Chain A
């Protein structure tokens, strides 16, 4: 079979197997480098040795301990959070059929931010809040916010997309206003709170990695299983329904899973912008739209991107750490603009 001459480039896609294996190798390389670099740098061989010891549960010496108990969880957490946000972004862009949708669109981040700020500013006078801790309260507020948004957007049995986005924006800005108020009122803690809001992996631990993975892994499997439903949604809600999809139920399921995993990410690492926006976008430009291809690649790229961003965040003006959200925005913004100019418009 011959294919007619094709006037536009990029018709034939790169092979998925090739892209996937290259992405896995790149991610592992980036992670090894990131574990090795820091105030004390170690080579790949020592990284591997510390990892082996840590996994076997051997007693660790000073350097191995730094590598295994501080840097490893930090890098792994960055990878999982990056993968989760990229996955959630892919789902949001797919469900809303809009390349500008991102995981925080329906209020997750503003809710979580408000919860965390509540703990940090009032924790001293309200012991219960302090005992629960910022991550848990942030998670709870994220869910409360999204539930509120869904409740407000409901119309009959359905949740129309435009109402959902409107409700998300309005409820989100209410919580953001609350956050700003607390921030101003908190005065001396304001800098600390702000740096949490902008995201970071300074408080990583294997415990947090476990917490995050608990949400991220099932979410990835579940969303991956419904990749074909995400494809059908690209035909429009009516088009998808005519092919037998229960559109409302699938929308809620996908957005629910994406929101849960986003809330988990926000609660362990703060509000890290741009990853959920640009990574899915870049993956789509490279691989086309079918979600069975898009989802795994976006997750891998999100992981690698976040590990790199965190590495930059702790290296550029070491020993001071830049909030990683600042790095992702500084790197992601221009990259996004470049994509926009190159293609003449988002795909």
Chain B
């Protein structure tokens, strides 16, 4: 048995006449690492997350959680292991920040949802590490977009998953919130959580991920350390844009050329 959340040769039909949303994709995330999935629009990044949360069934291949097929898990069992921060998460009005974060405890509660002291601690901890404690009692609809994204992240932390999936967590955020969010994600990985994030911004991806997987047309084009994956030739071919790749220490920096 191997620890990790992974896809093994997974294909998904797109439903649009023959083309495949995912084409024999094999990639995974191990506990403690941050893996970034990058690629142009329509590359299959979101489909990949939907397979990993079992919202879509692969037409071929298998998704494994620590070596066990996802299909063997109940919804509840899966929710204890895998949390997702969706791209545009629904944040219903009329709940306080603390109440939204507390929803993350749902998979760990009994049938009638009684909170124990351990649950309270998990909620407090999740708010502390995402710096949301200061507005714990405010209604979520009164928060800014960046604050709201943190609250949704806090809910996923409160879920205490083994694997944390993030779908473009930094889009619509300004630099400060982007950096904060990726910092929280790295902190989760440091605490032993496997973090997989779908991300558009190549520079942020290169800076914050241990490994990158570059997706195009539903297939993995390159996989490995950011410096290996983000080669000028590969990036230009996949994104159809002219770029220079500079170096900031180990980290590649993509600069578009006009």
Contacts and interface: CB of A to CB of B under 8 A. Distances in A.
A184 to B, nearest CB: 45
Contacts of A246: 75-76
B139 A288 contact: yes
B106 interface: yes
B84 interface: yes
A148 B112 CA distance: 30
A234 B107 contact: no
B133 A244 contact: no
Interface string A84-128: 000000000000010000000000000000000000000000000
Q: Among B77, B78, B112, which residue has the most Cβ atoms of chain A within 10 A?
A: B112
B104 interface: yes
B90 A242 contact: no
A11 B112 contact: no
A105 to B, nearest CB: 20
Interface stretch (B94-102, B182-190, B203-211): B94-102
Interface residues of B, number: 35
A266 to B, nearest CB: 29
A13 B96 CA distance: 10
A238 B49 CA distance: 13
A1 B133 contact: yes
A284 B89 CA distance: 22
Contacts of B94: 284, 288-290, 347
B241 interface: no
B249 interface: no
- Describe A's contact surface by its main secondary structure: loop
Interface in B168-217: none
Interface centre among A231, A245, A284, A347 (most CB of B within 10 A): A231
B59 interface: no
Contacts of B80: 244
A8 interface: yes
B75 A239 contact: no
Contacts, number: 86
Contacts of B55: 238, 241
A278 B103 CA distance: 27
Contact of B103 (A4, A6, A243): A243
Interface in A231-275: 231-232, 234-236, 238-239, 241-246
Interface stretch (A43-51, A132-140, A220-228, A304-312): A220-228
Nearest to B94: A289
B95 A289 contact: yes
A4 B134 contact: yes
A227 B112 CA distance: 8
A235 B134 contact: no
B149 interface: no
B159 interface: yes
Contacts of A225: 111-112
A239 to B, nearest CB: 6
B79 A235 contact: no
A33 interface: no
B99 A243 contact: no
Q: Report which residue of B89, B103, B133 has the largest number of chain A beta carbons within 10 angstroms of its beta carbon.
A: B103
Given A1-B133, A288-B95, A290-B94, 13 more contacts: A3-B137, A226-B112, A227-B113, A228-B109, A229-B113, A238-B55, A238-B86, A239-B86, A241-B55, A242-B79, A245-B75, A288-B94, A289-B94
13 contacts: A1-B134, A3-B137, A3-B138, A6-B142, A7-B142, A225-B111, A225-B112, A231-B99, A234-B95, A244-B76, A244-B78, A244-B79, A246-B75
What 6 A-B pairs are tightest by C-beta distance, nearest first?
A289-B94, A244-B79, A228-B113, A244-B107, A234-B92, A244-B76
